[in-house]
Amino acid sequence: MQITIEMIETKEFKTKPRGYDPQEVDEFLDAICDEMARQLDEIQSLQQQLAAAKAARPAPAPAPAPVTEASTQQIKPVVARPVAVPDSDFREILEMAQKVKNETITAAEAKAAAIVAKAEEEAADKLGSLSEEKEKLTGQVEALKAAAAEYRAKFEALLQAQQEAMEKASDLF
Stronger pLDDT, 26 or 61, i.e. the higher one: 26
- Asked whether 133 and 141 are in contact (CB, 8 A), the reply is no
Stronger pLDDT, 72 or 33, i.e. the higher one: 33
Neighbours of 29 (CB within 10 A): 15
Q: Residues 103-133: pLDDT tens digits?
A: 999 999 999 999 999 999 999 999 998 989 9
Distance, CA of 150 to CA of 129 (rounded, Å): 32
Neighbours of 140 (CB within 10 A): 10
- Asked whether 65 and 71 are in contact (CB, 8 A), the reply is yes
| Number of separate helices (H) and strands (E) present in the chain | 4, 0
Q: Residues 13-28: pLDDT tens digits?
A: 777 777 888 888 888 8
In sign, the C-alpha dihedral spanning 63, 67, 68, 74 is: positive
Best CA proximity match to 62, nearest among 37, 42, 81, 47: 81
In sign, the C-alpha dihedral spanning 117, 122, 125, 128 is: negative
Average pLDDT over the chain, rounded to whole? 82
- Asked whether 84 and 61 are in contact (CB, 8 A), the reply is no
Distance, CA of 159 to CA of 153 (rounded, Å): 10
Predicted model pTM? 0.33
- Asked whether 29 and 12 are in contact (CB, 8 A), the reply is no
- What is the per-residue pLDDT for 67? 57
Percent of the chain with pLDDT over 70: 82
- What is the per-residue pLDDT for 90? 72
Domain spans in the chain, listed from the N-terminal domain onward:
1-10+19-57
Above 60 in pLDDT, residue 82?
no
